[in-house]
Structure formats: C-alpha cells, structure tokens
Amino acid sequence: MPKLIIDDIAVEVPQGTSVLEAARSVGITIPHFCYHPALAIAAACRLCAVKLLEGPVKGIQMSCALPAQDGMVVSTTDPDALKMRSLVIEWLMLNHPHDCPVCDEGGECLLQDFTIAGGHSRRRYVGKKRTFRNQYLGEGIHHEMNRCIECYRCVRFYQEYAGGTDFGVTGSAGRVYFGRFAEGALESPFSGNLADICPTGVFTDKTGRFRARYWDYEFAPAVCQHCSVGCNTSPQNFQRELVKIVARRNDQVNGWFICDRGRFDKEYLNGPKRPRDPEIGGAPSDYRLALEAAANRISEFCLQNGTASLAFVGSGRLSLEGCLVLAELAQVVGAPVCFFAEAAPAQGSLAAVRLLNEQNAARVIDIEKAECIALFELDLMEEGAMLSLAVRKASLAGAQVFRVKGGREGEKHRLPFRYQEVATLDEVPFEGGSKGIVICGAGGKPPELLSYLASSGAKLVMLQPGPNAFGAALVALERKGATLSDLVESGQIKGVVCFEADLPPWLLERVEVLACADWQRSGAADKASVLLPTTTWVESDGTSINYEGRAQRFLRSRPAGLPLKGLDPKYYSSETEAVALHPPRVHRKEIPGGAEREAWRVMADLILELGGEPVNEPLTGTWGKLRDLDPEGEGVRIHDLVSAQELS
C-alpha cells in the first residue's frame, strides 16, 4: 500500500487510489468538476491541480488521474497550484452566464462554490459570451447548454455507465455541444441522473423547476417503494409537497444512481385525490369517530359470523412495522392474517424467503463481479431496472449474459447490455466454481421451480412483487399467515379489513370490506364501510426489506397533510402554475388533511378500541435488533443479523 504525504499529513491508501481520493480520505477536499467516483477518469476540467514537491513525479499534476505512489509529497495549497486553479475558474467563467439568481442549481452548484472559494469576482475579458440553443429532452430534464463547463460527466454516465445511445457530444474546440443527436425525449430509463451528476445547471429536474432553493427543502433518508430493489433516495419536500427525488449513495444497493421511475413517478404522493380525511359510509368524519365505527363493525361482524370469517389483510406495500402490528391486531380479534391476496405471488415469495440465505442470496456487488448471468422469466427493466446496470458492468468486464426465452419479455426499454438467448436454463454454462447468478422474479413462480433454480449452484436474485414483500413473507412465515384467495375460495372468509392492500376485483366481489386504511384510492378503499387515511413513505418512519433480505430504515421527510399548493382552488384548474403557488390565506390550528397516520399506529389504535394491550414499539423480540438500524447506512441483511431458526 503506497505511503505519501499530503499537506503534511501522512497517508496510506490501497494500490490504485488516486491522489484526489487519498486526500479525501484524510478530510482534504481538492476542488474538481469532471471527477466522479462512479465514472471513468477523464481529467477534463483541470481544476484538481496539485503540486508534487518530492517523489517519483514532480510539478503540477491533475490529482484525479494521478495514482498515489510511495514517497510522494503533495501540496494542495502551493501558490502554483492555487494559481492554476484560479486560471481554470477564470476561463470557465468566460462564457458562463451570470444567471445564478434564476438557476435551479443555485445553492448546490459546484461551479458556484469553487468560483467563490477561489476568489474569482470580476471578468477581465470584454468580448461577447458564446451561446447555444437548448434542446427539448423530455418532461423530466431541462436543458441549459450555456452553463456547460465541458466536464464530460453527462456523456460518460449516459453512454458508458447507463448504455444510452441517443445522447452524446458533438462539435469541437469552443463549440462542443452536449445533447441529443436529434431533438426529442431522452430514451434511457436512467436519464434523470443527468440532473444529479451535472456539477452546474446544464441539466436540472424539470418537475421541480423554479419551485424552491436547496435550503428550503425538507429531506431525510428514504427507500424507494417502486420495486423490491430498495434504492436509497432523498425526497425533497417544500410546503408539504414532494417536489423532487434525488439519488442517495448506497454501494450495497443502488450505488450513486436511481432509475427514472423512482425519480419522476411521484405525483401520486401529492395528488388531491388521495384519502386525506376519515370517512364513514363515504362521508367525511373525525378520526376518533371513524376508529370507533371500524371497531364496532369488526365486533358486530364477528358476533354474527364468527372471528374465523374475518381476515385482516396487508401487502408488500406495508412497512415491516405495519406487518408486525397487523399480525398482533389479528391475534387480538382471533382472526386470520393475510399478507398476500392471491396464491401465486404468495407461493413464490414464501418459497424465495425459505430458499435464500447468506450464502446464495446475491447482492448487487455479486452481480457486478459475476462471470455468468442468466435472466429467467422476468421483465428486468420493469421489476428491477437498477439491476440492469449491475449486469451491464459485469458484461463489460467479460461476463456471459444469457436470457431464457419465455415468460415476461415485453420490456419498454431495451436492455443496456448484450446477451444470448437460450431455450432453457440447462443451456446456461454454470461451471463448477464459477461466479454464476440467476436473476428471476419470485412472484407467480411455483416453489418447485424456485427450488430448481436454487439447485443450479448459482447465486440467486429473486425479485419480489412489492417493496417489502420479502418482509411480509417473513412475518407470514413467523405468524402463520394465510393467503386470502385460498380462504375465500374455501368459503371461510366473508369479510376483510384491509391495510394498504390491493385486492383484485374478483376477490372484492366475494367479500365485505368492513374497513380500509390506505393512502391511495384502491378498490378496497372505495368499497369500505370505514376509511382511515394513512401516511405514505415520505410521511412515515419505517423499515423495508428488499429482494436479498436487506433491511433498511427510512425516515419521515415531511409532515402529514395537504400540500399548501393543494389548498388553493386554482391548483385544481388549468390556471398557470405560478398563480397556484401563492400561499393560501387559510388560518387554522390544525393542518388540513392532517388526519393521516402511519398504518401501524392506526392498527395500534384499533387494538386499543378492541380491548387489546397498547402497542408502543412494533419492533420487538427478534425484530428488536432492527431498532438501531442506521437510516443513512447500508442496511443489514436479515440472515446476517438473526439465524434462520429465529425467523421460521
């Protein structure tokens, strides 16, 4: 391991570490634009200049492209290095527009930070600024080419990392242009990451344009709820409205990036059609009255039909806390608990949970280092898009990728890697000792098939049918949960109480929905006698478990209640956005639409109404080990935390 000195601090780093990263490891920040840990080195911006005083290399060098070596003595504050950086800033600012007051990147702009830190305050060049025409890049990304400093981050991410082909760089010298080769919406399902990766304001999130400054936002660590990968995000909220979602680094799950679905599909969280107030018989009510009505309906139903005729139903949308308290609620009543509505998804998820362990459950880093990968009957871009980037990384490193024909093959986006099609899994050459991975969807697959996949000797990725379906399956195994469709078809179940559960129409036709607690207008919510609104993942604290069994905490990033914008009647009209942004003139103590509560707290209140004991902490017993989980950490794999015997 090379040993060097940086600004009089002795540093020892692994072989291959750059001087820039070596400096960062001891708390020294070297200014840079083009460098990004996830991308290949370009050394394009020239801002990371340092001076090497002694060692095998001397003079001014670019620290991002210079591997650390024994005997180096590096100065980041030498006058020659500082002069070099100031000149770089000056030539970058020759053509940069002075539009910081109206730039969405203001407050989180590297160019702004380093220009001010470097002391550049006046433009000596008196010529005209170079200008460009902007492109329309779709509804997610706004383009302002005049702000470009030619760091090449965007094109390195889009083409090299994400495998996109419709965006790149054209021109030369002072007319270099970064954009699409023909105007139109960006085709890559990862294009939104351009907003995160651009160090200036060339690419910004169009959905949050002109809404707020960085320091105005409320945000907290979160876990994406669109699929079972569990990407780490940071929701940015303003005036109780989710304005933007940005990626949060977790090398064990999603690295630095997220897919466009996880970034842009968020309006359902702000929508005025969300249940905001309790309802009894479709009419608005008070939370306490609605809770009493729900308890009375449950008691009456059980007296008439027996407790075995009632089922408490959850789903993979519920947090782990919700699943555990739902099982407690069912136990208080003496009724069955169901976490899956239909048999096929239930069988697949339960089988996957039984089969996966710390040895055969593949992590993202296992996929990236695999030598042979088989995609088995799944739509990868729909069920776990971020895993396609891990497969691409393995493919570029020489891994063989096979796709078994059959199953769900209608991807909306092309796969960003090359693969061979085979008829059966037996044709995939998993050789003894090789690093093989099978990626499939667990939902809807018979247990026998999943057992066959587990016997292949390869590590497994079994994508689940919900963000916490793995956690729901674990609780179902632990608390002897049943499948709702089996109980209904047997004639046992006549009524249900649903908590964030999506029941298919055929099931809704055959049962009475006594009560429903949800944050969206599901079929069960429309049919329920009593509706209790719950909070979404941006308004809750909780835990979810992803496809590999990795438990991750998420924190509340905004209070419950209707967005301030949503209080303005013009929000519901076709008036311009600017008019609707005026704060409403409403004076009241309580937050409008603030009756929403976390699902597990609604369950706990219902337990009290039904005569049960108070539930103050949902994570107890074996699950209590997750209470201290760091929401900003990498999470912890369940099988690393507890034994299989404790979970079965």
Tokens representing residue 110 in the block:
């590297």
Burial 216-238 (b: 16+ CB within 10 A, else e): ebbbbbbbbbbbbbbbbbbbbbb
CATH of 3-93, one of 2.40.30.170, 3.30.2130.30, 3.50.50.60, 3.10.20.740: 3.10.20.740
Q: Mean pLDDT, to the nearest integer, of 313-324? A: 94
- Say if residues 634 and 253 touch (Cβ distance below 8 Å): yes
Least confident span in 92-96, 207-211, 271-275, 594-598: 271-275
Edge-first strand listing for the sheet containing 542-545: 542-545, 550-554, 636-637
**Residue 8 in this model has a pLDDT that exceeds 50:** yes
Beta strands in 222-369 (DSSP E): 222-223, 232-238, 241-247, 279-280, 283-284, 310-313, 337-340
Q: What is the pLDDT of residues 582-632, one digit of tens each?
A: 555 666 677 888 889 999 999 999 999 999 899 999 998 888 889 989 999
Task: Assign domain 347-470 to a CATH class.
Answer: alpha beta
Least confident span in 30-39, 47-56, 344-353, 541-550: 344-353
**Residue 160 in this model has a pLDDT that exceeds 50:** yes
Phi, psi of 610 (to 5 degrees): -90, 5
**Residue 481 in this model has a pLDDT that exceeds 90:** no
- List CB contacts of 217: < 8 A, sequence separation 6 or more: 236, 237, 238, 243, 244
Q: Mean pLDDT, to the nearest integer, of 560-575? A: 64
Q: What distance in Å separates the CA atoms of residue 461 and residue 199, rounded to the nearest whole number? A: 34
The structural domains of the chain, with segments of one domain joined by +, span: 3-93, 347-470
Rounded to two decimals, what is the model's pTM? 0.91
Number of helices (H), then strands (E), in the chain: 23, 28
Q: What is the pLDDT of residues 88-130, one digit of tens each?
A: 999 999 999 988 888 999 889 999 999 998 888 888 888 899 9
Confidence of residue 530 (pLDDT cuts 50, 70, 90): very high
